[in-house]
């Protein structure tokens, strides 16, 4: 089995987790895709520097963090988490999600989907329209015929409930 | 260092992560993930990567002129090894590899796709796919509201989009990704070579009895086809179709029909079924694989740097 094939396996195992990390730090999807590819290319180039006794994902996130910080100089408007400490905290938070049950991030995200399913109908509708259909708050306001402020409050309340639900699930899973 | 963060910044990071995970959990696109990985692998190929070794200067080792021969040889050796161990599977594998290489004429395919989305339910669309002898493709898609058409084309790394209204958009593949995610049309499966390559690597293959198919353009003819069924191997990405069926012309190896079946449960969302049928060998204008072949001379062309640029335009 050649190195590229083995690298592809590592890429597939970590692809989704890495894009979730980058998208949390960057507001533009095209820029996130660019950073994702750049991170993977740097990882490939430096594969020999990787310490095999350590997990791959944090090493990959380290490269991504440096790439994000470098991109801040040319695309500051689109980089929302701009300092190393924030990116480190983001990595720690993502690692907690990684501790949830499931082989892939998609399976681990079942916990999040369950939290969404537990919301009230009106909150769930807002969250699904926002993240499934990708509607912006102003578009949500038009679609649901509600004031923009009401939509913003509803989204904030729903996200807080999802956050609390996830905290409980992480605690139940024994994740500190 | 992270422990020094003030509570407000921690909350901001937590919120950003929650938003990103919600996007992934509810609106994540299998095809976009696959496109990202395919683009990376193509990029590595274009950089001449074959074994993962880098030179002592840290720069890419230049591509060897023997590389294509080495890849062909490894495929032949792999085919021979599989054939030796399991002749039936070997034949199936050989049929897929042959079909991958039978890309030497401009072809038109009819694509019928069915998707299931949350809130919306099942939706279908029909598209015409054109492939040239190289790596260019063009797709005619129905627009979002189905009243007119949209032309999408490009190479594995570049895309252009001619919407029904508004300027032509030209840029990298990510430029059209957002729009495509919303329109249910997912590009990786427009690359038949990619589908077949995945089939050869991530699927257990079985050769069924040859079948005769009637070409779409001439129902009176019959084409004898090898029929290969691929079942997604355990451990392969669950986002890939669970089953791929290929009917390839026994003489030329050209893919006549491909069916992709995700075998989704009723509660599952995403692509459900694709049928891709060869619709003929059209004689196309020289600029067919360029956006200029599908828009007016005075059409405004915009170099769309981002998805946001694209989304700023009404596409219908």
Instruction: Choose the weakest-confidence range: B158-167, B220-229, B247-256.
Output: B158-167
Q: Are A109 and A16 in contact (CB under 8 A)?
A: no
Q: List the beta bridge partners of residue B261.
A: B243, B273
User: Taking CB atoms and an 8 Å limit, are B36 and A33 in contact across chains?
Assistant: yes
Topology given in CATH for the domain delimited by A101-176? Arc Repressor Mutant, subunit A (1.10.10)
A92 or B303, which is more confident: A92
Confidence class for position B17, pLDDT limits 50, 70, 90? very high
**A97-101 mean pLDDT:** 86
Q: Residue range B112-140: average pLDDT?
A: 79
**Which residues touch B217 (CB under 8 Å, ≥6 apart)?**
B279, B280
pLDDT of residue B232: 86
Report the DSSP pairing between strands B301-303 and B243-249. unpaired
Sign of CA dihedral A82, A135, B118, A32: negative
- Note the pLDDT of residue A6: 76
Q: Which of these, B171, B144, B142, lies nearest to B159 by C-alpha position?
A: B171
Q: For position B157, what pLDDT does the model report? A: 64
How many CB atoms within 10 Å of residue A64? 27
For B40, the closest of A16, A37, A116 (CB atoms) is: A37
Q: Do A20 and B13 touch (CB under 8 A)?
A: no
Core vs surface per residue B268-279: b (16+ CB within 10 A) or e: ebbbbbbbbbbb
The more confident residue out of B248 and A104 is B248
Nearest to B9 by CA among A166, A82, A44, A19: A82
> What secondary structure does DSSP assign to A43-55, as a single string?
HHHTGGGS-TTS-
**A6 to chain B nearest CA, in Å?**
9
Contact of A172 with chain B, judged by CB distance below 8 Å, is answered with: no
**Residue percentage of chain A with pLDDT more than 90:** 42
Q: Is B262 helix (H, G, I), strand (E, B) or coil?
A: coil
What single-letter DSSP state applies at residue A79?
B
Mean pLDDT, residues B20-38 taken together: 77
- Phi and psi at residue B39, in whole multiples of 5°? -60, -40
**Top-confidence residue, B106 or B82:** B106
Q: State what percent of residues in chain A have pLDDT above 70.
A: 98
Residue B190 confidence (pLDDT): 55
HEC states along A101-158?
CCCCHHHHCHHHHHHHHCCCHHHHHHHHHHHCCCCCHHHHHHHHCCCHHHHHHHHHHH
Residues B196-213, mean pLDDT to the nearest whole number: 81
**Cβ contacts (< 8 Å) between B119 and chain A: which residues?**
128-129, 132-133
- State chain B's mean pLDDT as an integer: 70
pLDDT at B2 over 90: no
B58 touches A at CB < 8 Å: yes
Residue, of A156 and B143, whose pLDDT is higher = A156
ipTM of the complex, rounded to two decimals: 0.93
Q: CA-CA-CA-CA torsion for B14, B15, B18, B23, nearest 10 degrees?
A: -140
DSSP letter for A86, please.
Answer: H
User: What are the tens digits of pLDDT across the range B252-283?
Assistant: 888 888 888 988 887 777 788 888 888 888 88
Per-domain boundaries in chain A: 1-98, 101-176
CB atoms within 10 A of CB B70: 12
Position B86 pLDDT exceeds 60:
no
The gap from C-alpha B178 to its chain's centroid, in whole angstroms, comes to 15
- The beta strands (E) that lie in chain B are given as 107-117, 121-131, 137-142, 149-154, 158-162, 168-172, 203-213, 223-232, 243-249, 255-261, 270-280, 301-303
Q: What is the per-residue pLDDT for B1? A: 54
Residue B316 predicted with pLDDT over 50? no
CATH value of B107-280 in 2.50.20, 1.10.3470, 3.40.50, 3.40.1350? 2.50.20
Is residue B85 exposed (0-12), middle (13-18) or buried (19+ Cβ within 10 Å)? Answer: exposed
Record: contact A29-B307, CB cut-off 8 A: yes
Which residues, listed in sequence order, are joined to residue B128 by a DSSP beta bridge?
A: B110, B140
Contacts with B, A 99-158, CB within 8 Å: 104-106, 109, 112-113, 116, 127-134
Q: Which pLDDT tens digit goes with each residue over A15-43? A: 999 999 999 999 888 889 889 999 999 99
Residue pair B226/B248 in contact (Cβ under 8 Å)? The answer is yes
A95 touches chain B (CB under 8 A): no
- Cα angle for residues B145, B191, B148 (degrees, 5° grid): 20
pLDDT at site B71? 39
CA–CA gap between residue A40 and residue B37 (Å, rounded): 10
pLDDT in tens, A73-88: 777 778 888 788 899 9
What confidence score (pLDDT) does residue B3 get? 57
Identify the pLDDT of residue A50.
86
pLDDT digit string, tens, across residues B170-195: 876 555 544 444 443 444 455 566 67
pLDDT in tens, A45-74: 998 888 878 888 999 999 999 999 988 877
Residue among B211, B165, B189 nearest B272 (CA): B189
**CA B230 to the chain's CA centroid:** 17
Task: Please give the CATH architecture assigned to the domain spanning A1-98.
Answer: Orthogonal Bundle (1.10)
Tell if the CB–CB gap between A15 and B49 is shorter than 8 Å. no
Question: What are the residue ranges spanned by the domains of chain B?
Answer: 107-280
Residue A70 and residue B177: Cα distance in Å, rounded? 24
Mean pLDDT for the stretch of residues B220-238: 82
CA distance A142 to chain B (A): 17
pLDDT at position B14, please? 92
């Amino acid at each position: 089995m050649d190195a590229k094939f083995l690298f592809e396996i590592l890429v597939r195992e970590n692809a989704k987790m890495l894009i979730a990390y980058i998208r949390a730090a960057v507001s533009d999807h095209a820029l996130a895709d660019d950073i994702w590819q750049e991170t993977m290319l740097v990882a490939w180039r430096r594969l020999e520097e990787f310490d095999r006794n350590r997990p791959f994902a944090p090493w990959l996130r380290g490269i991504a963090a440096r790439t994000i910080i470098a991109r801040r100089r040319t695309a500051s408007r689109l980089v929302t988490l701009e300092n190393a400490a924030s990116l480190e905290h983001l990595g720690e938070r993502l690692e907690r999600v990684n501790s949830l049950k499931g082989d892939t991030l998609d399976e681990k995200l079942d916990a999040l989907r369950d939290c969404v399913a537990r919301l009230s109908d009106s909150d769930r509708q807002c969250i699904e329209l926002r993240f499934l259909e990708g509607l912006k708050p102003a578009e949500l306001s038009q679609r649901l015929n509600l004031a923009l402020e009401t939509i913003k409050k509803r989204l904030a309340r729903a996200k807080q409930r999802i956050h609390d639900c996830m905290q409980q699930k992480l605690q139940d899973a024994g994740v500190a | 260092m992270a422990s020094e963060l003030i509570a407000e910044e921690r909350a901001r990071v937590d919120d950003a992560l929650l938003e990103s995970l919600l996007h992934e959990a509810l609106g994540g696109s299998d095809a976009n993930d696959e496109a990202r990985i395919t683009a990376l692998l193509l990029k590595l190929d274009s950089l001449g990567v074959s074994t993962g070794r880098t030179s002592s200067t840290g720069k890419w080792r230049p591509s060897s002129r023997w590389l294509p021969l080495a890849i062909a040889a490894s495929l032949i050796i792999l085919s021979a090894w599989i054939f030796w161990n399991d002749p039936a599977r070997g034949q199936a594998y050989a049929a897929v590899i042959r079909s991958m290489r039978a890309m030497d004429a401009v072809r038109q395919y009819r694509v019928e796709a069915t998707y299931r989305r949350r809130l919306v339910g099942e939706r279908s669309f029909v598209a015409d796919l054109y492939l040239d002898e190289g790596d260019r493709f063009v797709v005619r898609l129905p627009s979002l509201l189905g009243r007119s058409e949209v032309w999408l084309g490009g190479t594995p790394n570049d895309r252009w989009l001619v919407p029904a209204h508004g300027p032509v958009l030209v840029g990298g593949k990510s430029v059209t990704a957002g729009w495509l995610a919303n329109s249910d049309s997912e590009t990786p499966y427009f690359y038949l070579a990619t589908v077949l390559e995945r089939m050869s690597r991530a699927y257990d293959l079985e050769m069924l009895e040859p079948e005769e198919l009637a070409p779409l353009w001439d129902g009176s003819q019959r084409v004898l086809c090898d029929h290969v069924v691929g079942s997604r191997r355990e451990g392969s990405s669950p986002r890939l179709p669970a089953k791929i069926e290929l009917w390839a012309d026994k003489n030329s190896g050209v893919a006549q029909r491909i069916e992709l079946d995700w075998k989704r449960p009723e509660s599952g969302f995403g692509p459900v079924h694709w049928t891709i049928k060869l619709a003929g060998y059209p004689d196309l204008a020289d600029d067919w694989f360029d956006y200029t072949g599908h828009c007016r001379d005075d059409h405004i062309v915009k170099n769309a740097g981002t998805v946001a640029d694209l989304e700023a335009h009404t596409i219908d």
